[in-house]
Amino acid sequence: MRGGDPGDETGVAMRTLKLTLAYDGTAYVGWQRQARGVSVQGLVEEALSRIDGRAVTVVSAGRTDAGVHANGQVARAVVRSRLDVSTIQRALNATLPPDVRVLRVDPAPDTFRPRVDARSKTYQYWWWNAPVSAPSVRGWCWHVRRPLDVSAMDEAARALEGRHDVAAFQSTGTAIASTTRTVTRSRVWSISCGPGSALSLVSRLVPIDGRFVVFEIVADGFLRHMVRAIAGTLVEVGQGRRPPGCVPHILASGDRTQAGPTAPARGLVLVCVNYDGADDGGADAAGVGPLCA
C-alpha cells in the first residue's frame, strides 16, 4: 500500500495526500490556526474533515503570515476516504470560500513532509508604482507613489544570490538554529500598465497609468519576515535612500536594524514550493511571471 497508515479503528486503509492550494490572505490571520481569527489551515481542515467524517490535520510547507497570499502552498493530509483525488478536490472547493482554492490533490507516500522535503520555495513581492492607487490591486500590492529605480533595486537584489547568513533580514526575537540560507535567484523587474500598455488584459484590470514592480526570490529556506525585510530595503534603494551596493554590508552586519523596514504583508505571495531539486523560479520570456515546476 502506498501512503498513509495501515488503517484506523474501523480498519479502513489510510492514504496520504499532497494538496496544492492558492489563497488570497487578506481576510485571514495567516495559514496557521490561531487562538482568534480565521486561518487558512482551519478552513481546509474543517472542509476535509467533513469529507472524511473525522478530524483531519493538515500540515503545510510554510506558515504564511496574516495578509500574505499564496499561489502554490503545499500541504499534507492523511485521510481514510475512498474517493478519488479529483472528487476530493471538487468537494473541497465546493466547501471552501472562494478566496481559498485547492489547485491539485495528489497521492503521496506516507513519508512525505511538506516543509522538510522542500528543496526550495519561490516568493514574490509586488509594488504598484504610480501616483494614483489602482483599486483593483490594492489588496495584493504595496502602493509606492514616488518613482522607483528598478535597475538599482535589481542590482541590490542580485547581491543576495549565493549562500549567506541572512540574520540581518530576520525579525528580532526569533529563535532558530541557523540563519544561513542559499538563494538561487533574486531579481527585480517591472510591468507597465494602463491604457497604453501592450498587455491588454492587464490594462483592462488596471486602467490607470503606472507599473508593477516585482521582486522574486528563490531559496532553500526563509526566515520569519525575511522577504518583507528585503522588500522594505529594496524600496529604500529604489528611492535613492540607500546605494545599490548596500546589501553586502547589511548581510555582514547580521543586524536587523541595518536593513530597511518590514514591508506590508499584502504585497507578498508564496508562488510555489519545489520538491524535485530544479530551479523553480524565474520570469518567463516576457518577464511577466515565474516559471514553477
Is residue 24 among the annotated active site residues? Answer: no
Angle, vertex CA 244, rays to CA 238 and CA 249, nearest 5: 125
CA–CA distance, 160 with 173 (Å, rounded to integer): 23
Is residue 222 within 8 A of residue 181, CB to CB? The reply is yes
Residue from 5, 24, 52, 65 carrying the catalytic annotation: 65
Burial class (CB in 10 A: 0-12, 13-18, 19+), 195: exposed
φ, ψ for residue 127, nearest 5 deg: -115, 145
Task: Spell out where 156-262 has E strands.
Answer: 162-165, 180-193, 210-219
**Helix/strand number for the chain, H first, E second:** 7, 10
Q: Compute CA distances 228 → 90, 126, 136, 250, 269, whole Å.
A: 34, 11, 22, 15, 10
Q: State the catalytic residues.
A: 65
